[in-house]
Amino acid sequence: MRNGGRWGIGLFVNDEGGYTSIATAVALLVSISLVFVVASAEWTVSRSADVQPIADACALAGQNTVAAYYTTAQVLDACVLSMGLTGMAVMGVGLVAAAVPGGQAVSSQAISSGKDILDARMRFARSAASGLCKVEKAIPFAIIANSASCVAANSQGGPAVTGVAIPFPLESHSDFSMLESYVDADEVADKSGRLQEATKRSEDAKKRADEVRERAWRADCVDDPRCLHSRASSLAGMSEFEQPFAATPESWDFGMPITRTRIYYARRIAQESPEAGDIESITDSEARAAFYEYALGEANEAYYLEESDGHVSIHVPHLARNANEMRATWLYGDPRWPCTDEEDGLTLHSTWDCPGIAGSDAGFDSVAAIDEGVVRMCDECRMSVTDLGAVASISTSATNGYEHYWQIIVECAEDYERARNDQADAEREMHDVADEGRSAFDRALEQLSVPRPKICPPGAWGCVSIVGRSGGTAVPTELTRAFLGEAELPPGVAVSAAALATDGATNGNDVLSHFFDGIGAGESGSSIFGGICGLWGRLLVAYGNAYQGLGDAVEGFFGKMDGVFGGTVGGWLRDRLAGSMRVLGLQPADMRMRKPVLVHTKKVLGQSGLEPTGKVRSLLQALPDHGSAIELAHALGCWVWDEREAHEMTLAELPIPGTDSSVPLTIDLTGW
Asked if the structure places residue 193 within a domain, the reply is no
Residues 451 and 549 in one domain: yes
Confidence of residue 560 (pLDDT cuts 50, 70, 90): low
Confidence of residue 646 (pLDDT cuts 50, 70, 90): very low
Q: What confidence tens digit (pLDDT) does each residue in 5-58 have?
A: 445 666 666 666 666 766 676 666 666 666 655 555 555 555 555 678 888 998
pLDDT of residue 645: 47
Residues 416 and 454 in one domain: no
Contact (Cβ atoms closer than 8 angstroms) between residue 314 and residue 254: yes
Residues 213 and 69 in one domain: no
pLDDT of residue 520: 53
Q: What confidence tens digit (pLDDT) does each residue in 362-382 have?
A: 999 999 999 999 999 999 999
Residue at which a domain ends, from 362, 394, 427: 427
Cα 57 from chain centroid (whole Å) = 47
Residues 400 and 474 in one domain: no
pLDDT of residue 3: 44
Residues 529 and 588 in one domain: yes
Average pLDDT, the chain: 80
503-516 mean pLDDT: 58
186-221 vs 51-97: helix axis angle to the nearest 10?
Answer: 40
Q: CA 400 → CA 225, 274, 394, 500, distances in Å?
A: 8, 20, 10, 94
Element (H, E) at 348: strand 345-348
Contact (Cβ atoms closer than 8 angstroms) between residue 523 and residue 537: yes
81-95 mean pLDDT: 84
Asked if the structure places residue 352 within a domain, the reply is no
Give me the number of domains the chain comprises: 3
pLDDT of residue 4: 44
Q: What confidence tens digit (pLDDT) does each residue in 107-146 have?
A: 888 888 888 888 888 888 888 888 888 888 888 888 888 8
pTM to 2 decimal places: 0.71
What residues contact 186, with CB distance under 8 A and at least 6 apart? Answer: none
Which of 498-512, 575-589, 616-630 has the least mean pLDDT?
616-630
Residues 323 and 416 in one domain: yes
Asked if the structure places residue 438 within a domain, the reply is no
Q: Which amino acid is located at 213 in the chain? A: R
Count of other CB atoms within 10 angstroms of residue 517: 11
Task: Examine the pLDDT at 325 and tell me if it is beyond 70.
Answer: yes
Task: Examine the pLDDT at 473 and tell me if it is beyond 90.
Answer: no
Residue, of 662 and 99, whose pLDDT is higher: 99
Residue, of 65 and 622, whose pLDDT is higher: 65
Task: Examine the pLDDT at 2 and tell me if it is beyond 50.
Answer: no
Q: What confidence tens digit (pLDDT) does each residue in 201-220 have?
A: 999 999 999 999 999 999 99
pLDDT of residue 341: 93
pLDDT of residue 79: 81
Spatial separation of the C-alpha atoms in residues 419 and 310, rounded to whole Å: 11
Phi, psi of 650 (to 5 degrees): -90, 115
Contact (Cβ atoms closer than 8 angstroms) between residue 82 and residue 540: yes
Contact (Cβ atoms closer than 8 angstroms) between residue 423 and residue 261: no
Q: Please list the residues that pair with 283 across neighbouring strands.
A: none
Residues 606 and 466 in one domain: yes
Spatial separation of the C-alpha atoms in residues 111 and 104, rounded to whole Å: 10
Question: What is the sign of the dihedral through the CA atoms of 564, 567, 570 and 573?
Answer: positive
pLDDT above 90 as % of the chain: 33
Asked if the structure places residue 597 within a domain, the reply is yes
pLDDT of residue 525: 45
Spatial separation of the C-alpha atoms in residues 425 and 431, rounded to whole Å: 10
Asked if the structure places residue 360 within a domain, the reply is no
Task: Examine the pLDDT at 487 and tell me if it is beyond 60.
Answer: no
569-586 mean pLDDT: 75
Spatial separation of the C-alpha atoms in residues 487 and 123, rounded to whole Å: 67
Residue, of 548 and 162, whose pLDDT is higher: 162
Task: Examine the pLDDT at 522 and tell me if it is beyond 80.
Answer: no
Spatial separation of the C-alpha atoms in residues 504 and 482, rounded to whole Å: 59
Residues 401 and 527 in one domain: no
Residues 60 and 18 in one domain: no
Asked if the structure places residue 659 within a domain, the reply is yes
Q: Strand runs (DSSP E) across 367-411, as ranges?
A: 376-377
Q: Which amino acid is located at 169 in the chain? A: P
Contact (Cβ atoms closer than 8 angstroms) between residue 95 and residue 576: no
Q: What confidence tens digit (pLDDT) does each residue in 389-436 have?
A: 999 888 888 888 899 999 999 999 999 999 999 999 999 999 999 999
pLDDT of residue 337: 95
Asked if the structure places residue 378 within a domain, the reply is no
Task: Examine the pLDDT at 445 and tell me if it is beyond 80.
Answer: yes
Residue ranges making up the domain that contains 8 = 1-33
Q: DSSP secondary structure string, 556-624?
A: HHHTT-SS--TTSHHHHHHHHHHHHHHT--PPP-----EEEEEE-HHHHHHHTT--HHHHHHHHHHH--
Cα 119 from chain centroid (whole Å) = 16
Contact (Cβ atoms closer than 8 angstroms) between residue 487 and residue 40: yes
pLDDT of residue 30: 67
177-182 mean pLDDT: 72
Q: CA 608 → CA 163, 436, 458, distances in Å?
A: 21, 51, 11
594-623 mean pLDDT: 73
Q: CA 622 → CA 442, 619, 635, 638, distances in Å?
A: 58, 5, 6, 11
Q: CA 216 → CA 61, 255, 304, 405, distances in Å?
A: 86, 11, 14, 9
Output the 3-class SS for 501-570.
EECCCCCHHHHHHHHHHHHCCCCCCCCCHHHHHHHHHHHHHHHHHCCCCHHHHHHHHHCCCCCCCCCCHH
Asked if the structure places residue 610 within a domain, the reply is yes
352-369 mean pLDDT: 93
Spatial separation of the C-alpha atoms in residues 121 and 183, rounded to whole Å: 9
Q: Is 466 exposed, middle or buried (0-12, 13-18, 19+ CB in 10 A)?
A: buried
Confidence of residue 295 (pLDDT cuts 50, 70, 90): very high
Residue, of 586 and 268, whose pLDDT is higher: 268
Residues 314 and 264 in one domain: yes
Residues 15 and 90 in one domain: no
Residues 26 and 90 in one domain: no
